[in-house]
Structure 1
Amino acid sequence: MDGSSSVEELTRLLREAEQRAKEDRQRAEREQQRAEEAERERQEERQRAEREQQRAEREQQRAEEAERERQEERQRAEREQQRAEREQQRAEREQQRAEASEEQTRLTTLDEYITACHASVFSRFAIETDPNLTSRGSITNPRDKWCPKNLRPWPDFLDQQKLTFGTLYDAFPTESR
C-alpha cells in the first residue's frame, strides 16, 4: 500500500498545490483588480482635481474681469462726473457773463445814477491843506465862461433836496424810475 498511498498522497498534495495555486491566482487577480480600481480612482481623483483647478482658474478670471469692469465703470463715472462739473462751471460762468452783460446794458434808475455820481465824483473831492501839494501855476481865465463869482452857504439845501426828490418819487413810482 505504500505505493498506492503515496500516489494518493501525491495526488492529494498535487490537488492541494493546484488549489493553492488557483487561490493564489484568484488572490492575485483580486489584488490586480484592486490595484486597477485604485489606479482608476487615482486617475478620476486627478481628473476631478484638474477640473476643479480649471473651474477655480475660470472663476478667478471671471472675478478679475468683473473687477476690471468695475474699475472701468468707476473711471467712466468719474470722467462723467468731471465732465458734468466742467459743464456746470461753464454754465455758471455763462450765466454770470449774461447777468453782467444784462447789468451793463440795462437802463440806470435815478437812484443808481445819483449814487454813481456821488461815488464817482463828489465823494472824491478833498481839500488839500498841505501848501507843498497844491498847484502853483496861474488859474484858468474864466472870461466868456459861466462860473461862480462867489460861493455862499445854502442853509435849507437838505430841505429843498427832500422836497425835490419827494416830488420826483411821487411823479415816478419806484417801478418806473
Structure 2
Amino acid sequence: MSLGLVSPHRDGGTLGMKKRSVMTESKRTNHIGKVADFLKESKPRNVPKVKEQAGVSELIEAFVQSDHSRVVYVVDDQERLKGIISLGNLVRHFFFHYHDTHIDSRHLISMAVSETAKDFMHENALVARVTDEVEDVLKRMIKNNVKEIAIVDNQKRVIADLTIIDLLKYYKRCA
C-alpha cells in the first residue's frame, strides 16, 4: 500500500509530476509527533471493550454500539488487554454457512463451545503506547496489515484506540 502525494516539479524545462510519500511530505512540513499528541487533539470516544467472560449478546452489542471501530478489545477485570475480536471473525463464525460450501463438523463443535469473548478472541494483539511516535505506529500497522490498534498504558490497560482513518485525519491537520 502506498500513500502518496503528487506535486508539480520542473524537469528539463517541462512541468512534470513527482510522487512523494505521506511520511516524506510530513517530515518536510513538520514533525507528526507522539501518540500522546494525537490523543490531545482527538475528541474522546468510547473504546469498544468487553470482559473475557462476556457472552455473545454482549459481544454483538459492543460492535453495534461502536461507531468507529471494527474490532472489540477483550480485557480482564483490571481492564488489561487480553485479545481482540474482529467484526470479520465474528461474522465468519456466525454466518459460516454463507462462507463455507459444506458444513465442517469441527466448525460446528467450535461454534457449540464458543460461548464467551475469551473463546472468540485472538491473543497477542498489536498495541501502541502514548510515548510511541505516530510514524512508528503507522509503519507497524501497515507492516502487519492492521487497520486499528489499541493504545495501552504501562499496565497494558486499554486507554484509547487508533485507526488508519484517524491517522489520515491527523496527518491532514499536521500537513
TM-score w.r.t. the length of structure 1 is 0.18
Q: Which has the higher strand share?
A: 2
TM-score w.r.t. the length of structure 2 is 0.18
Q: Which has the higher helix share?
A: 1
Q: Which has the higher contact order (CA 8 A, sep 6+)?
A: 1
Of the two, which has the highest radius of gyration?
1
